[in-house]
Structure 1
Amino acid sequence: MLGVPALVVSAFIWGPALASVGLSFTRWNGITDPVFIGVDNYQNVTQGYPPFWPAFRNNVLWLAVLLLIATPLGLLLAIVLDREIRGTRFYQSIFYLPVVLSLALVGFIWQLVYSTEQGLINNLTGSGVNWLGDPDVNIWAVLVAASWRHVGYIMVLYLAGLKGVDNSLREAAALDGAGPAQTFFKVIFPTLKPINVVVLVVTVIEGLRAFDIVYVINKGTNGLELLSVLITNNILGEASRIGFGSAIAVILLVISLVFIITYLVQTLRRDD
């Protein structure tokens, strides 16, 4: 029963991933035979391709905002809703609703919110800020939209983990005189380690593979450059530089693995 899905994953995920690594050392337009050029693509990406470093910076910023702001906010909502306050089911539905929407649709919705002339924010505040056209502002505006969706997903993950915590742990902590904050950080949060691993992996992937929302807004230009957009433009664009685009994809893969492997190694060491 595991053989079929393992074969599908190998064919459609690991196969193309390994092929991208191999193609990153070639010059290939998708038609003629690939030509091996060594690490020239990587040198050209990092030294002679101006959009790369702004896109790299935006990806790191995207990941930092999701990790340091959106994820803790999702955890906070899960803690509040875990107390079975009045209307818990309603609030769960409201906060989770953005998760069922695609990032492309989220981009369309927030375009209406941020519109300069008819947008909700400018009409309520009376300002004329060009939220999506100003390169000094638009990355932050889009990060708010991305966080709006991410918070609900993290909330559900942590809420599921909190529901599985044994109440006897809370009772024992209360008998020992621990306050709510001590109980959570010293007793409850350590039991959520499996959830933390899932949350970290999901957040890193969401932060580094971001594409749809910026592509809908302005095709990832004018301050919204991301590595995923550069990959798409080079592989599927008019130039069709598949080897060059694959090199950017491999760089993105390595960045993802650095975060995930570092956390997993530290977690396993603590377990030992």
Structure 2
Amino acid sequence: MTDHELDPVTAGAPRAPRRRRVGRLSGRDKAVVAVLLGLPILIDLAFIWGPTLATVGLSFTKWNGVGGLSSKTCQPNVPSILNNGCLYGVQNYHQAATIYPEFWPAVRHNLIWLAVFVFFATPLGMLFAVLIDRGIKGSRMYQSILFLPVMLSLALVGIIWEFMYSQNYGLINTVIGHNHDTNAIDWLGNPKLNLWSVLVEASWRQAGYVMVLYLAGLKAVDPTLREAALMDGSNAWQTFWKVIFPVMRPINVVVMVVTVIESLRAFDLVYITNKGINGLELLSVLVTSNIVGETQRVGFGSALGVVLLVISLVPICTFLYLTFRRESQPKGAR
């Protein structure tokens, strides 16, 4: 017998498991990993980061989209055709903030759009999700009806609501009895009303989108949490806000990011209504009109696009920072 077997201390001790050696990747495995990782990265760089960085670079130039770019600085009091493609510095941003009349109304309208989505459309979608999750009668039918606008294109949504808002034959004016008379309300032509009218269209669609996201989060919540809260005497309202809602923090992050993106990239509805003029100016419409419109000021339109990007990143980054900072703190410090 060996000394180890005779040792009373080590005789009954379990043997440590042998460590398995990690085999090296073969050439085929490396090729598969390179394709699976490299292809998405290349697509991301080509279609997202590449155009983004190109837009930032073009925002510092004075270019009409024709001809090449040069490293020469634009000369003052020189015709645009001779100054095409030159470096313009921050003059595009300066002109947008000082002498471009549609800029500040567009910024204000984008912020109003964001506020309506955050404080109206998102809570409405959450309410729909909670009611449907409680298993009310006909919940499947309600879920399909509320999600139907999300399946429609924004162009079709705009056309549907044009029939609702039409001054002469619209459903709303017909119901209130002002169809075909001098008191008919011009919902889409009045600069004081058209923004809010289009926001109703956008919220109608956005609420269904948010509802589906929150339904997915509610289905993933552990049912024992609700049972424990009910046993402790919590009512339905307290159970949702103090137990269910904090658990859905990942869904809240997704909803916040989607809400900001959807509100700031709004384009289709306002362009269908009146091409984004007469009270419906938005930054996305101004970017399009300057880049592919009659003026074709690619550099100036790129500067407006960068402004829109910064406005969208500020609330998203702030929300993500506060959310993940709260998660990283100890429970007693929250």
Q: Which amino acid aligns with 1:3?
A: G
2:174 aligned with 1:123: yes
Which of 51, 55, 58 is equivalent to 1:23? 58
Q: Give the CA deviation at 1:150.
A: 0.3
Deviation at 1:126, TM superposition (A): 1.0
Alpha-carbon deviations, 1:28-53, whole Å to 9, x = none? 11113321111000000011100001
Number of residue pairs aligned between Structure 1 and Structure 2: 272
> SS at 2:173's partner residue?
helix
Identity of matched residues, %: 62
- Give the Å deviation of 1:104: 1.1
- Other-structure match for 1:175: 231
In 2: Cα distance, 1:6 partner to 1:97 partner: 34
> Aligned residue for 1:42?
93
- What is aligned with 1:196? 252
- Output the amino acid matched with 2:164: V
Which among 27, 42, 47 is matched to residue 7 of structure 1? 42
1:85 aligned to which of 119, 136, 140: 136
Equivalent AA in structure 2 for residue 239 of structure 1: T
Name the CA distance, whole Å, in 2 between partners of 1:80 and 1:100.
Answer: 21
Gaps of 5+ in 2: 1-35, 70-84, 179-183, 329-334
Of 117, 121, 124 in structure 2, the residue corresponding to residue 70 of structure 1 is: 121
1:2 maps to a residue whose letter is L
Give the drift of 1:200: 0.5
Paired residue for 1:102?
A: 153
Correspondence for 1:153 among 191, 209, 212: 209
Aligned-residue CA RMSD (Å): 0.8
C-alpha distance in 2 between matches for 1:217 and 1:2: 43
Q: Which of structures 1 and 2 has the bigger CA Rg?
A: 2
Higher-helix-fraction structure:
1
Deviation at 1:179, TM superposition (A): 1.3
Question: Structure 1: how far apart are the matches of 2:243 and 2:97?
Answer: 46
Runs of 4+ in 1 over 4 A off after TM superposition: none
Q: If the length of structure 2 is used for normalisation, what is the TM-score?
A: 0.80
Question: What's the TM-score, normalizing by structure 1?
Answer: 0.99
Deviations 1:80-129 (A, max 9, x none): 00011111111100000000111111111101100000000001111310
The alignment partner of 1:194 has SS state of helix
Distance 1:163 1:267 in 2: 22
Alpha-carbon distance, 1:3 to partner: 2.4
CA–CA separation in structure 1 for the residues paired with 2:190 and 2:65: 36
